[in-house]
Amino acid sequence: MTGRKNATQKFASNGKCYQILSRQSGKAIGVDEDGTLLIMCTPDPSALSQSWKLETAEDGFCRIFNTASGKAVDVINGGTGNGAWLHQWPPCDADSQLWKLEPASSRGCYRFLSKASGKCMDIVDISSEEGAHLQIWDSLDGENQEWKLVAITDGAEAPKATAPKRRRSSTRRNTRQTTAPAKANRALKQPAAESTATLKPEKTE
């Protein structure tokens, strides 16, 4: 008899593709025009750049793959400090690409915790603007750190991820600013905006 799945196992073992929506703004995680940095976008379920697939990794963690590129969500330069930005990067053997989901205070929402630092996936400057960047930050129980995973009804299947390779620091390059402006995050109490995309919410346990 198998035990009840935790949040990470629930989403990383079902083969589905998801939009990842901010509790704060209702916007979806996507990729910027350069195809590098993670940004917040108006939800569009037909945009593969906003489609993500979670795959089980070691020690109860998962990798988060972009459907369009097959690359994984990663902390730039393997950063562990507050304000290290997020981008997509080819799969490699690095804790900066491993994430764990934990239920948030808002029902049906989750926090993404980086294995490398234990810090949360967070929106820079607590912004609700289009194109706002993502970073890691200490857990503050704010809506800018809470996320809802919504199954894409007709989402394309994510490409099969290649086996992780060991990261070689000499080949890693920083394509843009690696740390966000030094503004302290704070919990927001405003309600999240409603998404207009036609999506199928994942049932919560």
Predicted confidence pLDDT, tens digits, the chain (205 residues): 456 789 999 999 888 999 999 999 999 999 999 989 999 999 999 999 999 999 999 999 999 999 999 999 999 999 999 999 999 999 999 999 999 999 999 899 999 999 999 999 999 999 999 999 999 999 998 999 999 999 997 544 444 444 455 543 333 334 344 444 444 444 433 434 443 344 444 544 4
Structure tokens at 121: 């996936």
Q: Residue 99 and residue 119: Cα distance in Å, rounded? A: 10
| Cα dihedral: 126, 121, 34, 19 (round 10) | -100
Q: What is the pLDDT of residue 180?
A: 44
Give residues with Cβ within 8 angstroms of 26, minimum separation 6.
Answer: 43, 192, 193, 194, 195
For residue 18, what are the contacts with CB-CB under 8 A and spacing of at least 6? 11, 51, 52, 53, 54, 149, 150, 151, 152, 155, 202
Residue 159 has a pLDDT of 41
Residue 74 one-letter amino acid: D
Q: Are 17 and 152 in contact (CB under 8 A)?
A: yes
Question: How is 151-198 classified by DSSP, letter by letter?
Answer: E-TTPPPPPPPPPPB---GGG----S--B----------SPPPPP-S-
Q: How far apart are CA 67 and CA 48, in angstroms?
A: 6
* Full-model pTM: 0.76
Name the DSSP class of 76.
G
Which is nearest to 92 in space by CA: 107, 113, 70, 111?
Answer: 70
Query: CA distances (Å), 18 to each of 15, 114, 138, 148, 182, in order?
Result: 10, 19, 25, 9, 31
